[in-house]
Structure 1
Amino acid sequence: MRVALAEDGALFREGLVMLLEAAGHEVVGCAEDGNALVDLLAAGPGATADVAILDIRMPPEPDGGLSTAERLRTAYPNLGLLFLSHYAEAHYLMRVLQIRTESIGYRLKEKVGSVAVLSDTLDRIRAGEIVIEPQLARRLVDRPTGNRRDVVASLSARELEVLGLMAEGRSNGGIAGQLVVSPKAVEKHIANIFTKLGLPADAAEHHRRVLAVLTYLRSHQDGA
């Protein structure tokens, strides 16, 4: 796929370019800050991209990746977004999900240092999935706070496992493979989660998945 990149750390930026090219992706341009990336993508057809990779904490300060993504979302609604950071922070994730709840990802820099992991992340984003750093997703699901504790208590251990994998952006097939169960079993667990969370039965499957994940991510902030 065609990828644009903004990262203010020169060594990490060049390393990402090498990984992307090794995976067979076309890097349409690199920038060291958000403003330069916006200008690059506005330059013309030759600079169009399928996914933009952004460092969350880069110029323009303080969180240039997030402000840049908001500008790109307005200009290019179909552009996938991958945020990279040294930090797995809930408040960053909530801002990411305010920008979009599909075709978007938030990963730790140290976890995308291989062709396989980076390519899998990009493929899932391009396919319309939410890709959340597993470390952060599991921490938020496993440690709910505030007035949603009663909802958490109503879920079984297996349902929590399924929800944790949903929060990572995994498909039903991906969840089944991870837990070594049948797709039908996963569908049953997800249906139970939707029911216990009180999510509307007439809503689209994708919409209910997003609502389920957001319920738990927001529960992390209730006691903050």
Structure 2
Amino acid sequence: MRVAIAEDGALFREGLVLLLTAAGHQVVGQVGSGTELLAVVATEPVDLAILDIRMPPEPDGGLTVAERIRAVHPEIGLLLLSHYAETHYLTRVLEIGTERIGYRLKDRIASVQVLADTLQRIAEGEIVLEPVLAKRLVEIPGDRTNSPLAALSDRELEVLRLMAEGRANNGIAQELFVSTKVVEKHTASIFTKLGLPGDATVHHRRVLAVLAYLRSARIDGG
């Protein structure tokens, strides 16, 4: 995979290069700003761009640059990185797109295996979200009586949490040590209980399920 990196921290940027190279990917550009990354994707064939969310020339410059890349080069996968799992960042990521995109914490991808898995899932068209954020979204504080999630069982909430990470049915099955058929049964029940449209594609319904989380979860994005 041909990967371009935009990260203003030189040490972390070099670390990413080493991890990507070890995973068999080709780094076609490593720059320190969003402006430089836009120049790279305009001149080099790039399969996936890795961007620091908090990057010059503005506080959340990585998100702005990701929006511009997606608008001009929709075929390029995007991986947004941050030190923090913040709900308002996730909302922005979902606004950029729900396919071939990811939002992960920097300290969670500091291994070849995790980074390679994340990039592979994005390349296959998935949305990949940080597990700690997906977990926070299901752990809704206070009374859940009036929440659309109130009708879900504990197991369905667990399935929905993994779905919110962007995992496919087989990935959820592996995490829960159950069969894919069991996961399919749970997801069908979740879609019905959340009132998601039956004529939507499976992937689109998964995204709607994630958005149902965001609407119903009373979470401090800090």
- What TM-score range do you get, normalising by the shorter chain? over 0.9
- Deviation string 1:97-122 (CA, Å, 9 cap, x unpaired) is 00001111000000000000000000
- Return the offset for 1:152: 1.5
**Aligned residue pairs, count:** 221
TM-score (norm 2): 0.95
Please list every run of 5 or more consecutive structure 2 residues that lacks an aligned counterpart in the other structure: none
Structure 1 residue matching 2:191: 3-state secondary structure = helix
**Corresponding residue to 2:204 among 204, 207, 210:** 207
**Corresponding residue to 1:191 among 159, 165, 188:** 188
**Corresponding residue to 1:123 among 115, 120, 124:** 120
Structure 1 residues 16-165: aligned runs within 5 Å = 16-43=16-43, 47-143=44-140, 149-165=146-162
2:163 alignment partner in structure 1: 166
| Distance in 1 of aligned mates of 2:77 and 2:105 | 17
Contact preservation (8 Å) 2:5, 2:37: yes
TM-score (norm 1): 0.94
Please list every run of 5 or more consecutive structure 1 residues that lacks an aligned counterpart in the other structure: none
- Return the offset for 1:32: 0.2
Question: Residue 32 of structure 2 aligns to which amino acid in structure 1?
Answer: E
- Return the offset for 1:11: 0.3
Question: Residue 189 of structure 1 aligns to which amino acid in structure 2?
Answer: H
Q: Percent of pairs identical after alignment?
A: 66
Runs of at least 4 residues off by over 6 Å:
144-148
Structure 2 residue matching 1:140: 3-state secondary structure = helix
